[in-house]
Copies of this chain bind each other. A is one copy, B any other.
Amino acid sequence: MKIALGLAAGFVVLTLASFLPMQKKKVIFFGDSITQAAVKPGGYIVKVGDMAAAEKLSDRYDFIGAGIGGNKVYDLFLRMDDDVLSKRPDVVIIYIGVNDVWHKRSYGTGTDADKFERFYTAIIKKLQAANCKIALCTPAVIGERTDSSNELDGDLNLYSNMIRNLAKANSLPLIDLRKAFLDYNLKENKENKESGILTTDRVHLNEKGNELVASEMWKVLKAL
């Protein structure tokens, strides 16, 4: 009897489990205009959703965009309570850095390298304190030329190196978009064009660009 009862109880639990909704992972994509556009049709967040669906994993994830145009690392810092922590995410993908470099040129208000690291670290610490899993992205491109002659390549490499080091130092997964974009362009951009391969305008993603970002992110997300 006892054994039978045990088996029966086990059966019931199992049955309940299969009826109960799966606990979904809430994933927030935290970034700038590239991420702001990513929730639109064809955007990389939509495509990550498609990739999850193709593997029948849609019920395991909630994908939420939290991108605002023009944001730099300290904008993320200033709005992370309101836009990220208040939503209690399980995973946060940080994708920032383009404007920290670009705004040096266009507005004179880029971010000093040492300050970039300090604010980035502050964001990581605060997310970790809230028990979020985190993945870090390098900023992909400002210009797609492959011979290191895009005006801001030097600085973009420097800030990407800082993010790579932050990932290593904090044992966090890295989504190295800058490397992925350069590798892709070395194959597909034989004419050394400034844009039109993965971006529409040297910075913002075209369809191929959204696909590449989505697939790089999904690889890392699945494993988290």
Contacts and interface: CB of A to CB of B under 8 A. Distances in A.
A111 B108 CA distance: 8
A95 B150 CA distance: 22
Give the oligomeric copy count: 4
Which label, helix, strand, loop or mixed, suits the secondary structure of the A interface? helix
Contacts of A111: 109
Interface string A88-113: 00000000000000011111111110
Given A109-B104, A109-B109, A110-B109, A158 B151 contact: yes
A155 B151 contact: yes
Interface of A: 74-75, 78, 103-112, 115, 118-119, 122, 143, 147-158, 161
10 contacts: A74-B119, A75-B115, A103-B108, A104-B108, A106-B106, A108-B109, A109-B111, A147-B157, A150-B154, A153-B157
Given A103-B108, A108-B108, A109-B112, 5 more contacts: A147-B157, A147-B161, A148-B153, A148-B157, A151-B158
